[in-house]
């Protein structure tokens, strides 16, 4: 019986241990819709983008990745991701500009807060875009994600492979 409680506790704790900046912000928006910035327009210049993936009961990669329009990168691994711990770096690539352009072209800042239905073992994927007028967050769960949003997540995630990491 102690083993069962231990396993349940560790599963419960691991889901809270992976909460990062975007997850916490999305939860605030869910619980108090008045906090969602309503002055964002698709014409606003995006200054920073980020992606955060939460863990699951399996081996889902869980991490946080943020990049500014100037290419400054922050990264933190939670579980099963390629790099361990916190890292900083820089991206100097046309793909960075193209990713920002893509988010503008799909009017990311006008998307709803969530797509899909959360489930007991579904990885949450959060994306974020920050402008001078506020921070937009979009949460996706499972496979019921519009193609444009799916592509946006992949473009942001693919930028990780282009980072020149700063040595400690």
**For the whole model, what pTM was predicted?**
0.82
DSSP 31: H
Q: Kindly provide the b/e burial profile for residues 85-108, where b requires at least 16 CB atoms within 10 angstroms of the residue's own CB.
A: eebebbbeeeebeebbebbbebeb
pLDDT tens digits along 50-68: 999 987 777 788 889 999 9
Sign of CA dihedral 161, 166, 167, 168: negative
Size of the chain, expressed as the number of residues it contains: 168
The confidence score (pLDDT) of residue 168 equals: 67
Query: Out of 15-29, 34-48, 71-85, 144-158, which region has the weakest mean confidence (pLDDT)?
Result: 15-29
CATH class of the domain comprising 2-165: alpha beta
Q: Where are the domains of the chain?
A: 2-165
pLDDT tens digits along 103-127: 999 999 999 998 987 777 788 899 9
The confidence score (pLDDT) of residue 143 equals: 77
Distance CA 120, CA 60 (A): 14
Per-residue pLDDT at 12 exceeds 80: no
Distance CA 67, CA 69 (A): 7
Q: Report the first-to-last Cα separation within the chain, whole angstroms.
A: 45
Torsion, Cα of 71, 130, 76, 79 (10° steps): -130
Confidence of residue 40 (pLDDT cuts 50, 70, 90): confident
The confidence score (pLDDT) of residue 84 equals: 73
Within 8 A by CB and 6+ apart from 119, the residues are 141, 142
Per-residue pLDDT at 165 exceeds 90: yes
Highest mean pLDDT: which range of 78-87, 122-131, 138-147, 152-161: 152-161
Under a CB-based contact definition with an 8 Å cutoff, are residues 64 and 83 in contact? Answer: no
Distance CA 56, CA 78 (A): 11
For the chain, the average pLDDT equals 83
Distance CA 56, CA 121 (A): 5
Enclosing H/E stretch for 137: strand 134-141
Distance CA 103, CA 46 (A): 9
């Amino acid at each position: 019986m102690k083993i069962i409680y231990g396993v349940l506790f560790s599963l419960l704790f691991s889901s809270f241990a992976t909460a990062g900046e975007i997850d916490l912000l999305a939860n605030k928006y869910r619980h108090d819709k008045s906090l969602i910035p309503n002055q964002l327009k698709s014409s606003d210049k995006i200054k920073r983008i980020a992606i955060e993936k939460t863990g699951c009961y399996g081996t889902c990669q869980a991490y946080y990745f943020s990049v500014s329009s100037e290419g400054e990168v922050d990264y933190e691994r939670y579980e099963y991701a390629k790099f361990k711990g916190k890292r900083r770096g820089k991206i100097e690539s046309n793909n960075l500009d193209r990713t920002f352009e893509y988010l503008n072209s799909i009017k990311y800042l006008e998307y709803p807060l969530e797509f899909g239905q959360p489930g007991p073992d579904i990885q949450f994927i959060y994306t974020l875009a920050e402008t001078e007028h506020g921070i937009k967050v979009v949460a996706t769960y499972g496979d019921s994600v519009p193609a444009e949003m799916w592509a946006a997540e992949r473009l942001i995630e693919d930028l990780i492979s282009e980072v020149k990491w700063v040595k400690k």
